[in-house]
Amino acid sequence: MQMYVAGNSFIHRMDPRAKITVLATILVLIFLVSNPLWLLGVSGVSVAIFLISGLSYQQFRPLIRMVMVLAVIMLILQGFSWPGERALFWLFGRFDFTLEGTLVGLSVALRLFNLLFAAPALMVTTPPERLILGLNMLKIPYKYCFVIAGTLTFFPILQATSDEINAAQKSRAFDLLERRGFVSKLQGFFPQLLPLILLSLRKAYNLQIAIESRALGRVFRKGTRRTYLVEMKMTGMDYAVVFLCLVACLVTIVFRIMGYGTL
Amino acid sequence: MNDRPRSPLISTENLVYEYPGGVRALNGISLEIYEGEFVAIIGQNGAGKSTLVKHFNGLLKPTSGRCVIASKDTRDCKVTELARVVGYVFQNPDHQIFSETIEKEIEFGPKNLGLDKDEVKRRVKEAAEAVGLSDKLDQHPLTLSKGDRQRLAIASVMAMRPKAIVIDEPTTGQDYQGGQQIMSLVTSLHSMGHTLILISHNMELVAEYAHRVIVMCGGEILADGSPAEVFGKPDVLAKTFLEAPQITRIAQRLQIPETVFSSGRLAEIVLGRGA
Ligand SMILES: Nc1ncnc2c1ncn2[C@@H]1O[C@H](COP(=O)(O)OP(=O)(O)OP(=O)(O)O)[C@@H](O)[C@H]1O
Ligand SMILES: [Mg+2]
């Protein structure tokens, strides 16, 4: 997984603040609504965002596969375990696979599906530093922004380190991970995992020193305002997007209060 | 040097490599390295040095062109097979150290080769002696200094007795003495019969120890020859923002035709001329 995929799509050019709003709106919508049909509607928007962003499906295939498997598992688990009335079929004459369960399973699966398409499409099209700047401009305290930035950059670094360790051990004729059999695989993890853990701990410790020596969290004197090296301007398009998001949220909330959109 | 075997140990033909993102890190590299050579590869950051040497044990496979190791195309070989022929010491020793004792760390490679117990023991002993860690065999690797961890990494590769050893920047973060120590270790590996391929940013050490210098820039080879030939061409070096060792440049300023690498030699020439 890459942190930032360069491009020049409409999504790429959107202000990070607008993107955060879109993502937040999708989150709000999928948790307010539980009717699979309505969720399908939201999915249309998410898929559209993914398509507009111009990201290649190839790159996300491993992630998408993983979530597909999760979705199927959800569907099966909910189908069998949800306390419903209308059974679709039975297993061993005892375990009901209910219609209600299927619907709940479907809605969970669709929520996952939404997140999967919308979140990467919005985040991977934003350079991490601009994303953080966006959050900071939304008045989110710098400390929290920093934690988010740290988490976002942690995974690619972990991936790169892990690749390097893998290459180093392979160069010493190490092939247990490539062999078949559970025991070999398990033994194979140590030469991979231990250096990774040690390096990560050391990195975290060094990061702490680096942060503290640069006085992170220094409070600005009252009346002074933080200035930014890179100023970001919301364009008319960005305001339109934010406006649409707010309308979508409001409309959904009203419908929910009126009792629509549930199972 | 003169009685070279007919086929090179490592050879590349028009080697091109592109990273998945589309960065073309190597742009048509052709070279031959023979058994017994001591080669240094130099060049600015991002020149493609690491990318090139990662082809020498099959960690990377050419996008186009060929890389042949001991008469085998690397495309048809696994890294674990090539590890018998070409050992690779990574830049950061902490990317490989995972054992609870130094002995076990050195054992790792030979054991992966499937050698019997006695042979493994013999090789551990020999490698530990070569790097000067014999009296610390049962210590924890993390109690070692960075320089010693670097030596441990070298020992763990040499214990596999590969024909060639690639070492990526062994002298970064070392002081003058640390650099000299690592280089004298590298030299002793060479005199033990290993072919050596060394990446370094330290021109002084390269000039002093290597027998052949390859200058890389932007994924291509700019110059390839003896230290005297390569450092005798300041204009070529300048293209890639490198400079010959200070002593060499002083001699060049003095318009001494010989390429000088040691203060002793410079003194000889200057005094000889003065007399
Ligand atoms: N995993 C990677 N993915 C994409 N591009 C890479 C990767 N590794 C290196 N590169 C790029 O390939 C080019 C050559 O990199 P390489 O690491 O071979 O240079 P180098 O000469 O070893 O530099 P250094 O002296 O910094 O070690 C650089 O432009 C680098 O950014
Ligand atoms: Mg390198």
Grouping H, G, I as helix, E, B as strand and the rest as coil, residue B12 is strand
The whole-chain average pLDDT of chain B stands at: 90
**Rounded to a whole number, what is the largest CA-CA distance in chain A?**
72
Pinpoint the alpha helices (H) of B58-202.
79-82, 102-112, 117-131, 146-158, 176-191
User: What's the pLDDT score for residue A1?
Assistant: 47
The confidence band for B2, taking pLDDT boundaries of 50, 70 and 90, is low
Count of C-beta atoms within a 10 Å radius of residue B143? 10
Residue pLDDT, tens place only, A9-37:
899 999 999 998 999 999 999 988 888 89
Non-local (6+) Cβ contacts of B235 within 8 A are none
User: What's the pLDDT score for residue B4?
Assistant: 55
B157 at interface of A, judged by CB pairs closer than 8 A: yes
User: What's the pLDDT score for residue A221?
Assistant: 67
User: How high is the ipTM of this complex?
Assistant: 0.85
Residue B196, strand partner residues = B38, B165
The answer to whether the beta carbons of residues A166 and A192 sit under 8 Å apart is: yes
- The CA–CA distances, whole Å, from B189 to B38, B45, B157, B172 equal 10, 26, 11, 19
CB B48 less than 6 A from any atom of ligand 1: yes
- Residue to mutate, B15, B50, B59, ligand 1, most ligand atoms under 8 Å from C-beta: B50
Q: How far is the CA of B181 from the centre of ligand 1 (A)?
A: 28
Chain A residues with beta carbon closer than 8 angstroms to that of B79: 167, 170-171
Tokens for A237, please give them.
């398009």
Residue type for position A246: L
Q: Which residues, by Cβ under 5 Å, contact ligand 2, an ion?
A: B 50
User: What's the pLDDT score for residue B270?
Assistant: 87
Least confident range of A252-261, B55-64, B148-157: A252-261
Instruction: Name the percent of chain B lying above pLDDT 70.
Output: 96
Residue pLDDT, tens place only, B203-236:
888 888 899 999 999 999 999 999 999 998 888 8
State phi, psi for B40 to the nearest 5 degrees: -110, 135
Give the strand pairing for B86-89 and B164-168: parallel
Interchain pair B80, A167: CB under 8 A: no
User: What's the pLDDT score for residue A189?
Assistant: 81
Query: Residue B161's closest chain A neighbor by CA?
Result: A172
Q: What is the pTM of this model?
A: 0.75
Ligand 1 atom 28 nearest Cα: B46
Residue pLDDT, tens place only, B258-270:
888 888 888 888 8
Distance CA A231, CA B112 (A): 56
The answer to whether the beta carbons of residues B51 and B11 sit under 8 Å apart is: no
Residue B64, strand partner residues = B16
Q: Residues of chain A whose pLDDT is less than 50?
A: 1
Chain B residues with beta carbon closer than 8 angstroms to that of A165: 95-96
Handedness of CA B241, B242, B247, B250 (dihedral sign): negative
